[in-house]
Structure formats: C-alpha cells, structure tokens
Amino acid sequence: MSQWSSNDSDLLEPVRMVREELGKKVHIVFTGRLRRGSVFQGRVDGIMRHVNASVLQRSQLPETVHLGIRVVRKPREW
C-alpha cells in the first residue's frame, strides 16, 4: 500500500505507475480545503481522506528534539 498526501495533478502519472506497474494500492490524504473534485477521483483504490490544518499541526514534531547528546532543531523556514 502507498499513501500519498496531495491533490497535485503532477502526481497523476506516478500514482498510475505505482498502481499499474508495481501493483500497489494507493490511498490519498487531502491537506487542502476542497474535499470534492479531486484530481485523483477514480484513480486511487477507493480510500481518500481529508486532514485539516489543526490535525496536521498536532502531528508535527516539536521545535527541538533531543537525541541523546545531540539536539535537532526544526529549520526556521518551516
């Protein structure tokens, strides 16, 4: 199974390749506001979900992650 987070029509060909050439199921998670009229409608394996901004925000790592003696920080541009 392959799960994609997009509604970008540039990914139609890679989605087709994953389904047809690799024989994998493709599921789509929408991150935009529009739930209907997806470019992937009928081109995925039936599972399409919408995730709003608050869910995405809650799923992010914290600004700083401590890895033993190493500290990793999220870049400012993010």
- Higher-pLDDT residue of 2 and 21 is 21
Domain assignment of residue 68, given as a range = 2-73
Residue 36 counted as domain residue = yes
Residue 43 counted as domain residue = yes
pLDDT of residue 39: 67
pTM: 0.50
Taking the chain, what is the end-to-end CA distance rounded to the nearest angstrom?
Answer: 29
- CA distances 44 to 17, 57, 64, Å, are 11, 26, 36
* pLDDT tens digits, 6-39: 667 788 888 888 888 999 888 777 766 655 556 6
60/31 Cα distance (integer angstroms): 14
* pLDDT tens digits, 32-72: 665 555 666 666 666 666 777 787 788 888 889 999 999 99
Residue 78 counted as domain residue = no
Could you tell me the strand order of the sheet in which 48-50 lies? Answer: 2-5, 26-30, 48-50
The tally of domains found in the chain comes to: 1
pLDDT of residue 77: 80
